[in-house]
């Protein structure tokens, strides 16, 4: 009898643990990585960036805490960051060589590997939402330029005049013809209580870019990736390196095929593989168990996270 009760108690504990695990959620966001140094920021600027990161985080947290999906959470977080002129996505995106904004975005769902992306658009208010429309309302994965805009218009997406994206600081950046990339890509990854992962990334690309250059953000497997078997990843940095080394998918593959933990996989890719070729940037990631990672080989990355356990944080510098 005692043996039966012990077995029954053990089963109850397992069921309770699984129930608690099913109710857990995690969310991480970034606002770009780069060579930012604390001495180059005023306290007011630091406070402003952190406040906006936390406001975006709150939007995603509320969705997840109320049983919403990770897909909805990452989309709404990135929409908020697209609307915030402090970051290089949506309003406030950097200008290309011709003084225009060219926006890219991608979103991916881990449970079925469905994904959508757009690139080179300049009249869609929230590119991340159109990327989701591509995923859910078309048979394609990526649309670019005028075709992406025509599709967005046909789907009822909010369109704007290109002047909407203008901000004076970004215009000044172009006039200085910066020698280094202006990093400020935004992204979000999340795990919901249903056990599903999702990732979303949006960017204005590089200051002074030419020839319709497209970076890693809208490339599935480079700057954006999600797979329920492993993790969800959103990247920021020098896109050409992230494309060539398929950074986001590489992290997932290292976990799936080599059995690495999320932290070890991210560390190997960001601080070893990319470091060796001088590829600069960082990633945010969350695995299927809700573990998170925010790592970079630059001096800083705008970032914030929260978990259902109450753990929460925000940061800028490494």
Residues ≥6 apart with Cβ < 8 Å to 252: 225, 227, 229, 230, 231, 233, 265
**259 neighbors 268 (Cβ within 8 angstroms):** no
Catalytic residue among 130, 185, 224, 246: 185
Tokens of 141: 């994965």
Tokens of 30: 């970034």
Q: How far apart are CA 260 and CA 204, in angstroms?
A: 33
Q: How far apart are CA 216 and CA 246, in angstroms?
A: 9
Could you tell me the CA-to-CA distances from 289 to 192, 193, 194, 265, 296 in Å, in that order?
Answer: 10, 11, 11, 15, 22
**30 neighbors 284 (Cβ within 8 angstroms):** yes
Q: How far apart are CA 292 and CA 25, in angstroms?
A: 11
Q: How far apart are CA 116 and CA 84, in angstroms?
A: 23
Sign (positive or negative) of CA dihedral 281, 294, 89, 202: positive
130 is catalytic: no
Active-site residues, by number, are 185
């Amino acid at each position: 009898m005692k043996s039966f009760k012990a077995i029954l108690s053990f089963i109850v504990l397992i069921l309770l643990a699984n129930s608690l695990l099913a109710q857990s959620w995690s969310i991480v966001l970034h606002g770009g990585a780069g060579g930012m140094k604390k001495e180059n920021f005023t306290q007011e600027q630091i406070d402003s960036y952190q406040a906006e990161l936390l406001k975006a985080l709150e939007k995603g947290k509320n969705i997840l805490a109320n049983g919403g999906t990770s897909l909805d959470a990452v989309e709404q977080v990135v929409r908020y960051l697209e609307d915030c002129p402090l970051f290089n996505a949506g309003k406030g995106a950097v200008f290309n060589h011709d003084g225009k904004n060219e926006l890219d975005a991608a979103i991916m769902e881990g449970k079925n590997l469905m994904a959508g992306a757009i690139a080179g658009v300049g009249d869609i208010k929230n590119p991340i939402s159109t990327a989701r429309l591509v995923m859910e309302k078309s048979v394609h994965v990526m649309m670019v330029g005028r075709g992406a805009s025509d599709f967005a218009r046909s789907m009822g997406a909010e369109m704007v005049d290109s002047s909407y994206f203008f901000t004076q600081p970004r215009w000044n950046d172009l006039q200085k013809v910066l020698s280094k990339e202006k990093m400020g890509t935004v992204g979000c990854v999340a795990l919901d209580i249903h056990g599903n992962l999702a990732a979303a990334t949006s960017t204005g690309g590089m200051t002074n870019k030419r020839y319709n250059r497209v970076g890693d953000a809208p490339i599935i497997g480079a700057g954006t990736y999600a797979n329920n078997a492993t993790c969800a990843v959103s990247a920021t940095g020098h896109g050409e390196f992230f494309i060539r080394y398929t950074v986001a998918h590489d992290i997932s593959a290292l976990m799936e095929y080599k059995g690495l933990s999320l932290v070890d996989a991210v560390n190997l890719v960001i601080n070893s593989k990319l470091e060796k070729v001088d590829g600069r940037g960082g990633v945010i990631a969350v695995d299927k168990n809700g573990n998170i990672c925010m790592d970079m080989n630059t001096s800083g990355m705008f970032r914030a996270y929260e978990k259902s356990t109450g753990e929460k944080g925000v940061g800028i510098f490494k």
